[in-house]
Amino acid sequence: MFNSAQIGVVSQAVEIAEDVTANYFKISTAQWKHVRYDIRTLAELRADEITDSAFAQITRYSRKPDHTFSGGRHYDYFKICLQDHNIMAAVERDEPVQLFPLAVYVVTHELVHVVRFCKFLQRFDAEPLERQQEEMRVHDITQKALGTPRIPHLDYVLKAYRDYQFMEQLRDHVGTV
Q: What is the mean pLDDT of residues 165-169?
A: 44
Closest-CA residue to 19 (of 162, 150, 153, 156): 150
78 pLDDT band, cuts 50/70/90, is very high
Q: Where do the structural domains in the chain lie, given as residue ranges?
A: 4-170
pLDDT at residue 72, rounded to an integer: 62
77-102 burial, b if ≥16 CB within 10 A, otherwise e? ebbbbbbbebbbbbbeeeeebbbbbb
pTM of the model: 0.85
pLDDT at 173 exceeding the cut of 50 = no
Closest-CA residue to 11 (of 76, 104, 145): 104
> What would the pLDDT profile of 12-69 be if each residue is shown by its tens digit?
999 999 999 999 999 999 999 889 999 999 999 999 999 999 999 999 988 776 655 5
